[in-house]
């Protein structure tokens, strides 16, 4: 006699899902909790007490000590990250549209050419920064952009335009070809079609890509380390790294500076996170509702 399979009720499944989500969230938040509370301790207490134990005598002095140090790096990072991310996402989206049009072209061999070119673009997203150290540095020096905002922006564009093109291709390809053909019949060119037809339909994907690249560029350590030579041009990751010295480390200030450095990406994600989720949902639904 076969045993009846027990089926969980929808309510039980929902409770189990919430329990699992809570456990994962707590595990993920433990390092964040440790980072924040240790910034309120004295350096001696950080070194002598368990990392998850709250401070016995909370103090704001570590945060106050690092706040003025991070002021200039935060401004620098905002300028570089915002401009580089916007340009990368816009140009990458246009590139994704170009490959979409090329792959659907009626010219012989266009599909093969599109796949070949797109493979080269995709390859650019996997090239390590370290492998480009010498040619990238020489290129930035030759165009007289070393230790400058334009130099940092150009270097990030080199890496993040391919990333944006790769990500946006997942969203652009779900736009019906009939819309593009109808716009062409109305006399619209590719630029107008992109901004008037394609971009409004893939806004969730565009914002998801933009958020991803902003966070990537904000946390990029290697490029600003190599391409800046003065403290006034430091970006946040380089400024944070400066708190770990060879002769000694102010642990409480290290925790404090890491917390402050994480605030901007956190704020961006809080305000734009719903669009990021919408983009992922739209991608998971094969573009339905984008």
Q: Which domains occur in the chain, in start order?
A: 66-284 (1.10.3720.10)
Alpha carbons 279 and 290: distance in angstroms, whole number: 8
Provide CB contacts within 8 A for 28, sequence distance 6+: none
- Per DSSP, the three-state class of 204 is helix
**Backbone phi and psi for residue 168, each to the nearest 5 degrees, phi listed first:** -70, -25
Cβ neighbourhood burial of 49 (10 Å; 0-12, 13-18, 19+): middle
What is the 3-state secondary structure of 257-279? HHHHHCHHHHHHHHHHHHHHHHH
Enter the tokens of residue 247.
């002769």
Rounded to a whole number of angstroms, the CA Rg of the chain reads 24
pTM, rounded to two decimals: 0.80
Phi and psi of 244, rounded to 5°? -105, 100
Q: Which of 221, 183, 214 is nearest to 199 (CA)?
A: 183
Write b or e for each residue in 82-119: b if 16 or more Cβ atoms lie within 10 A of its Cβ, otherwise e: bbbbebbbbbbbbbbbbbbbbbeeeeeeeeeebeeebe
Q: How many CB atoms lie within 10 A of CB 242?
A: 13
Q: How far is CA 274 from CA 59, 62, 177, 278, in A?
A: 35, 33, 28, 6
Burial of 209 (0-12, 13-18, 19+ CB in 10 A): buried
Alpha carbon of 239 to those of 71, 198, 243, 247: distances in Å? 10, 40, 7, 17
Q: What residues contact 100, with CB distance under 8 A and at least 6 apart?
A: 169, 172, 173, 175
Q: What's the pLDDT score for residue 151?
A: 94
What residues form DSSP beta bridges with 249? 244
pLDDT score, position 86: 95
pLDDT for the residue numbered 290: 39
pLDDT computed for residue 287 by the predictor: 43
pLDDT tens track, the chain, 290 positions? 445 556 667 778 788 888 998 998 889 889 889 999 999 998 888 888 888 888 988 888 889 888 888 889 999 999 999 999 999 999 999 988 888 887 766 555 555 666 677 677 777 677 777 788 889 999 999 999 999 999 999 999 999 998 998 888 888 888 888 888 888 888 888 889 898 888 888 888 898 899 889 999 999 999 999 999 898 899 999 988 877 654 556 788 888 888 888 888 888 877 776 766 666 666 555 444 43
Q: What are phi and psi of 249, to 5 degrees?
A: -130, 130
């Amino acid at each position: 006699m076969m045993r009846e399979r027990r089926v969980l009720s929808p309510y039980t499944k929902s409770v189990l899902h919430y329990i699992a989500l809570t456990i994962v969230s707590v595990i993920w938040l433990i390092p964040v909790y440790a980072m924040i509370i240790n910034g309120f301790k004295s350096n001696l207490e950080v070194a002598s007490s368990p990392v998850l134990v709250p401070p016995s005598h909370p103090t704001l002095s570590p945060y106050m000590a690092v706040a003025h140090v991070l002021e200039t790096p935060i401004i620098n990072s905002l300028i570089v990250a915002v401009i580089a991310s916007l340009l990368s996402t816009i140009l990458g989206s246009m590139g994704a549209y170009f490959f979409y049009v090329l792959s659907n072209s009626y010219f012989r061999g266009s599909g093969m050419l599109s796949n070949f070119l797109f493979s080269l673009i995709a390859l650019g997203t996997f090239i390590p920064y370290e492998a480009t150290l010498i040619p990238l540095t020489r290129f930035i020096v030759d165009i007289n952009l070393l230790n400058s905002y334009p130099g940092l922006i150009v270097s990030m564009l080199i890496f993040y335009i391919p990333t944006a093109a790769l990500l946006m291709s997942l969203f652009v390809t779900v736009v019906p070809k009939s819309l593009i053909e109808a716009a062409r019949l109305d006399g619209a060119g590719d630029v107008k079609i992109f901004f008037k037809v394609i971009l409004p339909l893939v806004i969730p994907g565009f914002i998801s890509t933009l958020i991803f690249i902003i966070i990537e560029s904000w946390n990029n350590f290697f490029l600003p380390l190599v391409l800046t030579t003065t403290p006034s041009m430091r970006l946040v990751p380089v400024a944070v790294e400066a708190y770990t010295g060879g002769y000694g480390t102010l642990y409480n200030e290290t925790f404090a500076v890491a917390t402050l450095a994480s605030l901007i990406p956190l704020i961006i994600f809080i305000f734009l996170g719903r669009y990021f989720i919408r983009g992922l949902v739209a991608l998971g639904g094969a573009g339905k509702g984008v």
